[in-house]
Structure 1
Amino acid sequence: MNEPTVATPARERILQAVLHVIGSDGVAAVTNRRIAAQAEVSLGSITYHFPTRNDMLRDALLGFVTDETTRLTELAESYRDHGLSIVDAASLTQQVVRDLGWTAERLAPFELFIQAGRDPSLQDAANKCFAAYDTLTVTILEALGVPGARDVASTLVATIAGLQLRRVATGVPQDVSAAILRLLSA
């Protein structure tokens, strides 16, 4: 996590703190006092920017996926004109997954997705997150010339997310590229 600084706007520091706390100690640990202390903002700043706890959770999840999708889209675009094959793309995905640092902020979305299953007010944010991942996956698959990209995108996203969750839970790296190749060759 980027350490909060005075130069970072309070709202952004709050959202960074939310992800850090969720990833470290779970959704139940998100309290206004804890977030204010972590973000180095006043308690009033929390309620000024986020009328409810769910607003804070939703915006943290959406902010994470926006940043993540932007990062992955830029990566995909940097390879668009390199003539990648499906095998190359699967290998690149494996490299990205392997190099992913498992910080508290990277664990937070898994916690928020589970929380969305319990709290319908977060489901729209979860849907937007998965829609963003699906759209990115369709873009990459279409650039690779994969037929029926839209038909396999959500399955591919779910497979990668499941393998990542398995990695987090077991500590054992997963072979994402093999799974991708199997799915796309079916």
Structure 2
Amino acid sequence: MTTSSAARRPRRFDPDRRERIVRACLDVLAEHGVAGTTHRRVAAAADVSLGSMTYHFAGMDDLLRAAFDAFATSVAVRFERRLAAAQGPDEAVDAVIAIITEEVFGTQRDLVLTHELYTLAARDPGFREVTNAWMKRSRAALERHFDAITTRMLDALIEGLAIHIALDTSPLDRDVVRGAVVRIAAGGTQA
């Protein structure tokens, strides 16, 4: 055994390394934004070598896509669960209200990650696949309870009101949210 072989760190068994890198990338994105996210920062946050980064991801776009796919999927799953639990039109309306007021941007981290994704997708059409897949899942969950036109309007309302709630310096009254959802949903609930 040579001296250099003995000095090498033993390989660690790490079957979840790729997922850990993706999670670390989301943390770095939330703290530094897309512009400040580098391979070095993500590798340090994930406690992996730079070589692991290039082994698992073809480049920064590949890493960002994997991270934003994971984020959008996690939000979509919460959205789907909330709507799947609704039994009937009244509960569907309540679920939409809860999604707006509690779920979509439940944390500052979610808000930041969402806006980073939106900005990236606005600049790079390749990332619109991520936002379109997210919207498709959201709309499919809404269509369990509402017609197609109402679904599109509710989807836009959810995004818009959630942004206002997250960024406004005055809290938005839950009754105002309820009024908006009820107005849109009034003509489009599924029986």
Q: Structure 1 length as normaliser, TM-score?
A: 0.78
Kept after mapping to 2: 8 A contact 1:117/1:123: yes
For residue 183 of structure 2, what is the aligned residue in structure 1?
Answer: 182
1:1-186 equivalences in 2 (<5 Å): 9-80=16-87, 84-86=88-90, 88-100=91-103, 101-139=106-144, 141=145, 146=146, 149-174=147-172, 175=174, 176-185=177-186
* CA distance in 2 between partners of 1:185 and 1:95 (Å): 17
Cα 1:14–1:103, aligned 2, differ >3 Å: closer, same or farther?
farther
- Identical residues among aligned pairs (%): 29
Give 1:160's aligned amino acid: I
* CA distance in 1 between partners of 2:14 and 2:110 (Å): 20
Give the Å deviation of 1:180. Answer: 1.3
Cα 1:15–1:103, aligned 2, differ >3 Å: closer, same or farther?
farther
* CA distance in 2 between partners of 1:110 and 1:26 (Å): 9
Kept after mapping to 2: 8 A contact 1:54/1:122: no
Cα 1:158–1:96, aligned 2, differ >3 Å: closer, same or farther?
closer
* CA distance in 2 between partners of 1:8 and 1:97 (Å): 37
Q: Whose helix fraction is larger, Structure 1's or Structure 2's?
A: 1
Give 1:119's aligned amino acid: D
4+ runs deviating over 6 angstroms: none
Structure showing greater radius of gyration is 2
* CA distance in 2 between partners of 1:135 and 1:7 (Å): 36
Give the secondary-structure state (helix, strand or coil) at the position aligned to 1:161.
Answer: helix
Kept after mapping to 2: 8 A contact 1:19/1:105: no
* CA distance in 2 between partners of 1:64 and 1:34 (Å): 19
Cα 1:180–1:123, aligned 2, differ >3 Å: closer, same or farther?
same
* CA distance in 2 between partners of 1:157 and 1:95 (Å): 13
Give 1:33's aligned amino acid: R
Give the Å deviation of 1:8. Answer: 7.8
RMSD over equivalenced CA pairs, Å: 2.4
Give the Å deviation of 1:49. Answer: 1.6
* CA distance in 1 between partners of 2:123 and 2:151 (Å): 25
Kept after mapping to 2: 8 A contact 1:32/1:43: yes
